[in-house]
Structure 1
Amino acid sequence: MLHKQKQKTSSLTIVVKVGTSSICDEVTHFPLLGNLSLMVETILKLKAMGHRVVLVTSAAIGTGLRRLNLPSKPKKLAQIQSEIAVAAVGQGRLMSLYDDLFGQFNQPVAQILLTRNDLADRSQYLNAVNCLEELLAMGVVPIVNENDTISVSEIRFGDNDTLSAITAGMVKADYLFLMTDVDCLYTDNPRTNSNAKPVFIVDDIATLKEQVTVSSPGTSLGTGGMVTKLIAADLATAAGVTTIITRGSTPQNIIAIVSALHSPSPSSSSADVAATATAAPLHTRFVAKPNPLVDRKWWILHGLHTAGTIYVDAGCVRALKAQQRSSLFAAGIVHVEGSFVAQQSARVVHERVDPETGKVVEQIEVGKGLVNYSSMEIARIKGCKSSEIEGILGYADAECVVHRDNMTITGKRAEE
């Protein structure tokens, strides 16, 4: 299981994600040394308390802009290569800054640069996990960032909120802290709506999205916003990681929040919410799922780039979502989109069609899995029985298109 109860409850694994707005001034791009120093001191105090800490950091581009004396990051498509070059300049400067600050306290740090492509191969994924674990065992603070200099849109995490959630899952973290420019999640933008109310605890993100407004984008230097933090919280809690949103300019609050929240079996009762709100600085807590995904299925769902889509019928959906979850067989496949080969990842989707108009009224993502056949092969064997595959293709590498052990079921239940 990806996330498990620690035998020693006093020792926690904590991932802290700090955004560009907490590191660089949005206008001058100068580093916010006060914030950075407080973050470093907080991490050192957490380590002194016996906790393991991973820092996920943004600001390579912001730091690069300062070094190159550029007013803003490139916006036009033709300038994206320039943005990559700016990140290349800034990444070294950013790590140098962290190394200097941690070095004042003789704390070793390590740079970890990742892309989705690095995690798409199972062996590379495990190598990354083992590297992080070894660094933590050695007392090193891993500093993780996306490798912007080689990333393309197809393999980017897109924002470091998502990267921090993936990292939290990889190290089996107890807590993920998403540091932002507000104290917590609000029902609306508190800067423009004085009636916006703070959200203290979330145990159902799907329901939350219907109750709050989170459409505001990130800063001019950052790539995220509150939307990406909800996505990250969804990913992390699925791995059994309690996720916290709180203010990045006061990182010392992490210690108070951990102290207030950490107990052998924290509850989500109203009494607990009230007690926590009183005892700790303002924050939003996303409760970890009680039955987190196992490691391999977490990797399939979140570590892999999706290469295509397999559309299935309602009977197939019922079989996949049954208690004894079935493998995906060709007989239930309607059609396939995208170009992929065997052992790549594909989405499994069911389309609900209006019987009167024949138009698709809803798409339901059923799951995601590693395929045994290419998209061209699946297009030829769709709707066929397993016993017919060899006659159609001339060979049969597997009786099913996706084996149940290589599939993660997601989304809501299809209509009967």
Structure 2
Amino acid sequence: MASPSTPPTAAGAGAGAERGLTIVIKLGTSSICDEKTFMPKLANLSLLVETVVRLRSLGHHVLLVSSGAVGVGLRRLGLPKRPKHLSQAQAVAAVGQGRLMALYDSLFSQFDVPIAQILLTRDNLAERAQYLNARHTLRELLHFNVVPIINENDSVCNAELRFGDNDTLSAITAGMVNADHLFLLTDVEALYTDNPRSNPDARPVRVVDDVQKLRQEEYPVTVTSPGSSLGTGGMVTKLIAAELATAVGCSVIISIGSKPDRILTIIDEIQKHKSGDPAAPFQPTMGTHFLAKPTPMVDRKWWILHGLATAGAIFIDSGAVRAITKEKSSLFAAGITRVEGSFNAQQSVQIMTVVEDTLPRGDKTQRVVEVAKGLVNYSSAEIQRIVGVKSSEIETLLGYRDSDYVIHRNNIAITQPPAGGVGAAETASASP
């Protein structure tokens, strides 16, 4: 996958560094400050900065997604724990964010490396133009050889517009810049078959080729442990991030935050494997590697899936499911059975269907399945009036016809693979 721009490779770059990689490193709060005293972990942060500097000397682009604003703010204000009220937590984050960036600037300045602060909310990415602006800004910063340091704008975002945790934000960042690798640095060395703190027999899982296998329990792993008292995530959020990033062609590695220099060894192992026998299995010695999908989703459809909050739902029949998933067709009013929620044209909606299952004793049961997400051409009130009708009847019922399609196929992103093993991913494209 091409990087947005490739800096000149420094003299003495390691073997196998044929081109500069784009690497996103996510650092959790527990790796930045102590959970009890909130004192910054200067040794750890210094080692991280040295690692980033070394990666840059090898010709790679690096972006940091950094938590820690609340923890640093608690230390500055002398508070004993994270506030429960949103407004108080936002105020603490506002105090901490400036001091956190000052700390990073002081450390990177020792190596004459410029940094930039990027604060995002999900609302910033909901509009396609803002999403593209954010992406262009990140790419230009990399072009100027700057290290972008990204965090959620905790001081202004509300609960409805939060990414929820920086694992998700780091995955979206990786997708925005077409990153090659996303490192999720946490307080454990890898994903384990059980909690290694309580079970000495827990074993690390080194390679995962499909996150869905973990959800379907094909891997013997436990992922229910929560995050730290300061953080908001845990292993579950890292699996979500891995699913998001691998879908867009970025490999994801879980590694231990107290040893960020391991990133150099992990990158070296990956490059040696790629330059070796392609049929040989990948056997890394560190971290857990989630392999990138071989056919990444196009950027626009990935944005529809992960950059937008849905405003309602459209239910479709089995014929429409088959048409949009197998035949890659647009969604017509004739295939719609009902509408839920209130939304306007060009907003994102869930495309749902009702599936009937037969129980062992022959009884029937129904379940609702999300098939896709998409951008509608008509409002919920308009779609209610044209449910189940032919496109030729739309003008008669509405008095106008802006489009024959309720959702054009270019604005449909499949989430549920169709029956029969037909894949849903689209081939990657450079177009916005």
TM-score when normalising by structure 2: 0.89
The answer on whether the counterparts of 1:317 and 1:414 sit within 8 Å (CA) in structure 2 is no
Q: 1:194 Cα deviation (Å)?
A: 2.2
User: Which residue is 2:250 aligned to?
Assistant: 241
User: Which residue is 1:409 aligned to?
Assistant: 414
Does residue 384 of structure 1 match 2:393? no
Mark the CA change 1:88 to 1:217 in structure 2 (over 3 Å): closer, same or farther. same
Mark the CA change 1:287 to 1:35 in structure 2 (over 3 Å): closer, same or farther. same
- What is the SS of the residue equivalent to 1:258? helix
Mark the CA change 1:355 to 1:206 in structure 2 (over 3 Å): closer, same or farther. closer
2:348 to 345, 349, 367: 345
Q: 1:208 Cα deviation (Å)?
A: 1.9
Mark the CA change 1:268 to 1:33 in structure 2 (over 3 Å): closer, same or farther. farther
- What is the SS of the residue equivalent to 2:49? helix
The answer on whether the counterparts of 1:67 and 1:90 sit within 8 Å (CA) in structure 2 is yes
For residues 310 and 9 of structure 1, the distance between their equivalents in structure 2, rounded to whole angstroms, comes to 47
For residues 227 and 355 of structure 1, the distance between their equivalents in structure 2, rounded to whole angstroms, comes to 31
User: Which residue is 1:62 aligned to?
Assistant: 71
Which residue identity lines up with residue 353 of structure 2 in the other structure?
Answer: H
For residues 295 and 103 of structure 1, the distance between their equivalents in structure 2, rounded to whole angstroms, comes to 35
User: Which residue is 1:374 aligned to?
Assistant: 379
1:334 to 333, 337, 343: 337
The answer on whether the counterparts of 1:85 and 1:149 sit within 8 Å (CA) in structure 2 is yes
The answer on whether the counterparts of 1:17 and 1:56 sit within 8 Å (CA) in structure 2 is yes
Q: 1:397 Cα deviation (Å)?
A: 1.1
2:124 to 118, 123, 131: 118
- What is the SS of the residue equivalent to 1:262? helix
The answer on whether the counterparts of 1:364 and 1:412 sit within 8 Å (CA) in structure 2 is no
2:157 to 148, 151, 157: 151
Which residue identity lines up with residue 404 of structure 1 in the other structure?
Answer: R
Tell me how many residue pairs correspond in the alignment: 405
Alignment map for 1:156-175 (pairs within 5 Å): 156-175=162-181
User: Which residue is 2:13 aligned to?
Assistant: none
Mark the CA change 1:270 to 1:202 in structure 2 (over 3 Å): closer, same or farther. farther
User: Which residue is 2:267 aligned to?
Assistant: 258
Which residue identity lines up with residue 268 of structure 2 in the other structure?
Answer: S
Range 226-235 or range 353-362, more displaced: 353-362
- What is the SS of the residue equivalent to 1:10? coil
- What is the SS of the residue equivalent to 2:156? coil
- What is the SS of the residue equivalent to 2:130? helix
Alignment map for 1:47-58 (pairs within 5 Å): 47-58=56-67
Which residue identity lines up with residue 396 of structure 2 in the other structure?
Answer: G
1:205-226 deviation line (CA, Å, top 9, x unaligned) = 1112213211111001000000
Q: 1:45 Cα deviation (Å)?
A: 0.5
For residues 5 and 173 of structure 1, the distance between their equivalents in structure 2, rounded to whole angstroms, comes to 7
Which residue identity lines up with residue 151 of structure 1 in the other structure?
Answer: C
1:3-48 deviation line (CA, Å, top 9, x unaligned) = 4489983311100000000001000111111111011110000001
The answer on whether the counterparts of 1:307 and 1:338 sit within 8 Å (CA) in structure 2 is yes
Does residue 395 of structure 1 match 2:395? no
Mark the CA change 1:252 to 1:370 in structure 2 (over 3 Å): closer, same or farther. same
1:309 to 287, 292, 313: 313
Which residue identity lines up with residue 101 of structure 2 in the other structure?
Answer: M
User: Which residue is 2:234 aligned to?
Assistant: 225
Range 403-412 or range 20-29, more displaced: 403-412
Q: 1:337 Cα deviation (Å)?
A: 1.7
* Identical positions, percent: 59
Does residue 190 of structure 1 match 2:190? no
Which residue identity lines up with residue 377 of structure 2 in the other structure?
Answer: N
For residues 18 and 201 of structure 1, the distance between their equivalents in structure 2, rounded to whole angstroms, comes to 21
Range 5-14 or range 363-372, more displaced: 5-14
Mark the CA change 1:27 to 1:266 in structure 2 (over 3 Å): closer, same or farther. farther
- What is the SS of the residue equivalent to 1:273? coil
Which residue identity lines up with residue 335 of structure 1 in the other structure?
Answer: R
Range 162-171 or range 206-215, more displaced: 206-215
The answer on whether the counterparts of 1:351 and 1:360 sit within 8 Å (CA) in structure 2 is no
The answer on whether the counterparts of 1:154 and 1:305 sit within 8 Å (CA) in structure 2 is no
1:166-225 deviation line (CA, Å, top 9, x unaligned) = 000111111100001011001121112222221000101111221321111100100000
Q: 1:287 Cα deviation (Å)?
A: 0.5
- What is the SS of the residue equivalent to 1:142? strand
User: Which residue is 2:430 aligned to?
Assistant: none
- What is the SS of the residue equivalent to 1:350? strand
Mark the CA change 1:268 to 1:197 in structure 2 (over 3 Å): closer, same or farther. farther
Q: 1:413 Cα deviation (Å)?
A: 2.4
1:98-150 deviation line (CA, Å, top 9, x unaligned) = 11111111111000011111111111111111110110011100000001111
Which residue identity lines up with residue 117 of structure 1 in the other structure?
Answer: D
Does residue 291 of structure 1 match 2:295? yes
- What is the SS of the residue equivalent to 1:102? helix
For residues 281 and 242 of structure 2, the distance between their equivalents in structure 1, rounded to whole angstroms, comes to 20
1:360-397 deviation line (CA, Å, top 9, x unaligned) = 63222111111101111112211111111111111111
Which residue identity lines up with residue 95 of structure 1 in the other structure?
Answer: M
Does residue 13 of structure 1 match 2:32? no
The answer on whether the counterparts of 1:13 and 1:53 sit within 8 Å (CA) in structure 2 is yes
RMSD over aligned Cα, in angstroms?
A: 2.2
For residues 202 and 302 of structure 1, the distance between their equivalents in structure 2, rounded to whole angstroms, comes to 22
Q: 1:70 Cα deviation (Å)?
A: 0.9
Alignment map for 1:200-215 (pairs within 5 Å): 200-209=206-215, 210=217, 211=219, 212-215=221-224
